[in-house]
Structure 1
Amino acid sequence: MKCTSCVCMKGSLLLAMNLNRRLTSSNNRPREDSWLKSLFVRKVDPRKDAHSNLLAKKETSSLYKLQFHNVKPECLDAYNKICQEVLPKIHEDKHYPCTLVGTWNTWYGEQDQAVHLWRYEGGYPALTEVMNKLRENQEFVSFRKARSDMLLSRKNQLLLEFSFWNEPVPRSGPNIYELRSYQLRPGTMIEWGNYWARAIRFRQDGNEAVGGFFSQIGQLYMVHHLWAYKDLQTREDIRNAAWHKHGWEELVYYTVPLIQEMESRIMIPLKTSPLQ
């Protein structure tokens, strides 16, 4: 006959071992559990304002236009030439409430591509004013006609700037520029902004942060981060250094599940670009 006390002790021991195994397993998988949860739709607090009003700079009413022009390979030099002749005139003319922030050719990424970034001081009314005035500008009308014969395709987006990013201002060169574009999952823009409001402090040491924007018209739930580097090796060194800063890896860990697609362009500024 088995001792009753022995059976009880074995039962208690097995129960304790099972409980310890479950606790150990649970402790080893907190990040995995949180990552899995992040793949699904999270509970979002009801909001009484558009995300553009929550994330954009309050002290300015600037609207940005980002243009992508895919140029016929044989026409790229001629395209750059007429852009450098006409676009600075609009930028410098006080008659137009707009500023050419930067103009580039894509070096790595989609080839034979031109990228232009404009700022409209005064938002949508300024954009409408510039469009109406340019229709009466015969030099610009001729420029657009000549330009259209050189293009394979073009698209644009209207953007607002994140409140926690630097204001894009002219800088001397030479620099290369990286435009990192993120297609986010719908409904995650606020979450992205909350994480990057903290993440941006890890990327300010080398003054590489130029500007951060999110789309309003065009392809929606798009985010664009613009960076400047001395060269590709400097870019590599700066990006690697971020991983040695406590907290950076956690912010990357939680923002990755918010992304559907992402793209990186390395760009070279044209001679007339305010961002050199």
Structure 2
Amino acid sequence: MAPRLCSISAAARRLLGGPGSVPRDVVAVAAARFYSKDNEGSWFRSLFVHKVDPRKDAHSTLLSKKETSNLYKIQFHNVKPECLDAYNSLTEAVLPKLHLDEDYPCSLVGNWNTWYGEQDQAVHLWRFSGGYPALMDCMNKLKNNKEYLEFRKERSQMLLSRRNQLLLEFSFWNEPQPRAGPNIYELRTYKLKPGTMIEWGNNWARAIKYRQENQEAVGGFFSQIGELYVVHHLWAYKDLQSREETRNAAWRKRGWDENVYYTVPLVRHMESRIMIPLKISPLQ
């Protein structure tokens, strides 16, 4: 029985353009947009950092970064198996144009295919600099972007399902910045018991220092719209063996076991995805 092939319309071929159409400037531009800050504070101070009273304010205000107004969107696209290559090519031809266009207040953070976990899946992480107003500005402009509307129409024929979430970043995590590869990425997703987000944040604010030595910590986020009480931790490793060694090393550090002990009871469900970056991803 002959394998099924993903049919590509003439419109999709126009969007794809010629060979080698993936812009080489995506990672360079992304790197110029972001910045890093040195970690500060002693071990003793870290025991008390970000200890918050859940009665004072909304969880999003207490846990998110005050110095930025970034909003993130994560997309999960389940692709027809026979269409994954065509989906990747179409995505790599169109999304960098939005990333590089300064008229759109959005930027690509990372783009991946799931390697281990849910198969034939693409994951995209976007940053909206300026929060909800930037998101709405971008969405309104896209409604009049004929190329993007054509892209969405073609993409819809390749998908089985899709979902998204709007996220804020934890104040004590790194801000995701472009990095050179090759790397694999692990997205660990935790669905928490309602009412436990503050406790989760307080424990991880102390524990994140145990996972910084190899620069494996990429970003930490919690959901604002979509499924609630969901946490995403994004990690980078050179390979699966490096992942194993790095995680084992954390258990040899005094205090890491306490973080696991206190946070495991907060979790209803957890999931791990190992992901491979697409060519356009600023996180390589």
Q: CA RMSD in A?
A: 1.0
Aligned to 1:228: 236
CA shift, 1:133, in A, is: 0.3
Question: Of 166, 180, 185, which aligns to 2:188?
Answer: 180
What per-residue deviation string (whole Å, max 9, x for no partner) do you get for residues 158-180 of structure 1? 00000000000100000000000
Unaligned runs of 5+ in 2: 1-51
Paired with 1:237 and 1:46, the residues of 2 have a C-alpha distance of 36
Aligned to 1:137: 145
User: Does 2:215 match 1:207?
Assistant: yes
Aligned to 1:86: 94
Q: Structure 1: which 4+ aligned runs deviate by more than 2 Å? A: none
SS in 1 for 2:85: helix
CA shift, 1:153, in A, is: 0.2
Unaligned runs of 5+ in 1: 1-43
8 Å contact from structure 2 (residues 112, 123) kept in 1: yes
Aligned to 2:16: none
Structure having the larger proportion of residues in helix: 1
Instruction: Letter of the 1:185 partner, please give it.
Output: K
What per-residue deviation string (whole Å, max 9, x for no partner) do you get for residues 56-107 of structure 1? 0000000000000000000000000010000000000000001100000000
Aligned to 1:117: 125
Aligned to 1:160: 168
User: Does 2:267 match 1:262?
Assistant: no
Instruction: Letter of the 1:128 partner, please give it.
Output: M
CA shift, 1:46, in A, is: 6.0
TM-score (structure 1 length as normaliser):
0.84
What per-residue deviation string (whole Å, max 9, x for no partner) do you get for residues 111-164 of structure 1? 000000000000000000000001100000000000000000000000000000
SS in 2 for 1:128: helix
Assess, with a 3 A threshold, how the Cα gap between structure 1 residues 136 and 46 changes in structure 2: closer, same or farther. Answer: closer
Q: What is the aligned length?
A: 233
User: Does 2:258 match 1:250?
Assistant: yes
Question: Of 216, 225, 235, which aligns to 1:217?
Answer: 225
Paired with 1:118 and 1:219, the residues of 2 have a C-alpha distance of 17
8 Å contact from structure 2 (residues 54, 198) kept in 1: no
Paired with 2:56 and 2:64, the residues of 1 have a C-alpha distance of 16
Aligned to 2:59: 51
Counterparts of residues 9-158 of structure 1 (less than 5 Å): 47-158=55-166
CA shift, 1:45, in A, is: 6.1
CA shift, 1:202, in A, is: 0.1
Paired with 1:54 and 1:63, the residues of 2 have a C-alpha distance of 15
